[in-house]
Amino acid sequence: MIAMRIVVPVKQVPDLVEELELNSEGSDIDREFVKFVANEWDEQALEEALLIKEAVGAQVSVVAFDEPDVDQTLYTALARGADEAVKLTGAGDGWLSTAERSRLLAQWLSGQSYDMVITGVQASDDLDGQLAGTLGGLLGVPHASVVVGVEPGSGSVTVTQELAGGTVVRTEIATPCVLGMQTARQAPRYAPISRIRQAMSAGGLESVEAPGEATGPTDGIELLRLYPPEKAGRAEMISGDAPAVAERIVEILASKGLVKL
Amino acid sequence: MGNDVVVVVEHDGGVVSDTTFELLGKGRELADAWGGRLVAALFGEPELAGELGAADVVRFAAGAELGGYCPEAWEALLLNVVESVGARLVLIGTSTVGMDLGSSLAARWHAAPLSYVVALRADGDQLLATSQIYAGKLLADLRVTAPRVVVTHIGGLLPSDAGRRAGSPAREEIDPGVLGSLKSAFKERRVPDGGGVDITAAPMLVSVGRGIAGQDNLELAQEVADALGVPLSASRPVIDQGWLPKPHQVGKSGKKVKPKAYLAFGISGAPEHLEGMRNSELIIACNTDPSAPIFDVAHYGTTVDLFDLLPELAERLGD
């Protein structure tokens, strides 16, 4: 029996711990000085794929576009237990919109055999939470987002999706399918640096020409202005050290009658 | 090209979501501006049509299996609705349903997708939208000239009263043949066990986020919560790590809360979290990042280290 193949598309996103500066045209963030990190939800997707591999056997292929520091992310995936890491090159200058990413990934996937595509439910850049659904729509296969459980069956998977308020629904979906992973059954495993180095020296990263190039912004949507949210209505910042701040918070709560001084 | 606006009706356990009413209100405004109809797309639970008076038309599909939400079935039905009514705009909440259907509908219906939208208005025959990106750290103002648009809109930002109107919209049943042979089957819907905690009923909440950095550190926040006699709540990362059980989660996929005071420690304020707590009467936030979005909704803020602040608070609040 041929083991199933799970493809995990991953991406790099700006580290939001840092300040985001705009470029001189104000049309995008300034990518020059931004630190890029692996999208945390993609790590959930990879973890779930690896858990499925361990439970029932699967070939896990991680795929990414050529983005800043993506090699590190791909080698980390190999160190964690992925069987294959593919870097799609030549698609654009370091960053792709989700619309373009979806289109190119769909093209690449249509030349691949796969049972499941599992990707992060969202990424904090342009089209938050759109990749799984867009891929599903373009590939014409069933898809589900906000997935918190995957039970592989024969020719199908049963997925658990979270709705509002913690309510969940379970649906049996035929494979191939595309899933947007919210949370894997366990926290993403740790890959020791030594194993990442091993993966690097083994050189298991496969560079493949992307099936096309970026074509620019989505037709019919024009960016007028990019800006940080208005500071009006922002919190009044309490100054001082921790004891002084604690004192003030207690005063505020007392002034609302919520605690007694 | 039509001028109709379609709103996807989200419901759970026979209750139409607040976000749906918010979008019906906005949809009404846009449909009126463009001279189109407001169409509510209702899948499962057809009796809920009685609450959708803001719409001109309710396109509905009956069937118990639809009520529980099955992404493939809802998508097939929604595609049928948008293609048959002459829609130019589809509005869905930025929820699981919105994330499932918004993006795939845009791909299949060849429409422009907009997500995490926080404001929409008609500008003559065009549409102006504001989207949140980078987890709310930036906003993008957009002019939409595409003939077809699918918008997922963040809930909790618009007045839901605007969509709660009396009226008797035409009811049109969708041909069940649209569902054809689905590759998916709804199995079950489960409501989580509250575990004896109801954070929505608490007068105050002490809430922790990623900044708490470890399960052992919860004790520091627990002491403050105990001193106030209120429960601990948390944002998604804390729940995902398994540090607190699900019923403690505040946010889009957790509980929506409105306490008299919400004390947030180490919570950056992702849009999904803000959606669940922004209407609290008093919000005090502690985060070492002065540009954290939580400070946009908080009344008071501090950037001192939560590990220094929590013990000081516990000491002052303890008897």
**pTM for this model (two decimals):** 0.87
Q: Give B52-79 pLDDT, tens digit per residue.
A: 999 999 999 988 677 678 899 999 999 9
Of A121, A137, A158, the CB nearest to B104: A137
Which stretches within B53-192 are classed as H helix?
64-67, 71-85, 96-109
Q: Which two tokens stand for residue B162?
A: 């605007």
Q: Token pair 């008797």 is at which residue?
A: B168
ipTM of the complex: 0.88
d(CA A19, CA B48): 46
Of B69, B281, B317, the CB nearest to A259: B317
Contacts of A99 in chain B (CB under 8 A): 113
Distance to chain B for A28, nearest Cα, Å: 10
d(CA A30, CA B155): 30
Q: How far out from the chain centre does Cα B290 lie?
A: 26
**Which helix or strand (DSSP H or E) is residue A195 part of?**
helix A193-202
User: Under an 8 A CB cutoff, do A162 and B96 touch?
Assistant: yes
* Local structure of A237: helix, strand or coil: strand
A24, with CB counted inside 10 A (0-12, 13-18, 19+), is exposed
What is the full DSSP assignment across A18-64?
SPPPBPTTSSSB-GGGPPEEE-HHHHHHHHHHHHHHHHH-EEEEEEE
CA distances from B163 to A16, A151, B25 (A): 36, 39, 4
pLDDT tens, position by position, for chain A (261 residues)? 568 999 999 999 998 877 788 888 888 888 888 889 999 999 999 999 999 999 999 999 999 999 999 999 999 999 999 999 999 999 876 678 888 899 999 999 999 999 999 999 998 776 578 899 999 999 999 999 999 999 999 999 999 999 877 788 999 999 999 999 999 999 899 999 999 999 999 988 999 999 988 777 677 899 999 998 876 567 999 999 999 999 999 999 999 999 887
Compute the CA torsion angle A34, A37, A39, A42 (nearest 10 deg).
160
CA angle B293, B298, B304 (to 5 degrees): 80
d(CA B101, CA B33): 26
Distance to chain B for A209, nearest Cα, Å: 24
Q: Spell B116-138 as b/e; 16+ CB within 10 A means b.
A: bbbbbeeeeeebebbbbbbbbbb
Residues 6+ positions from A217 with CB-CB distance below 8 Å: A97, A223
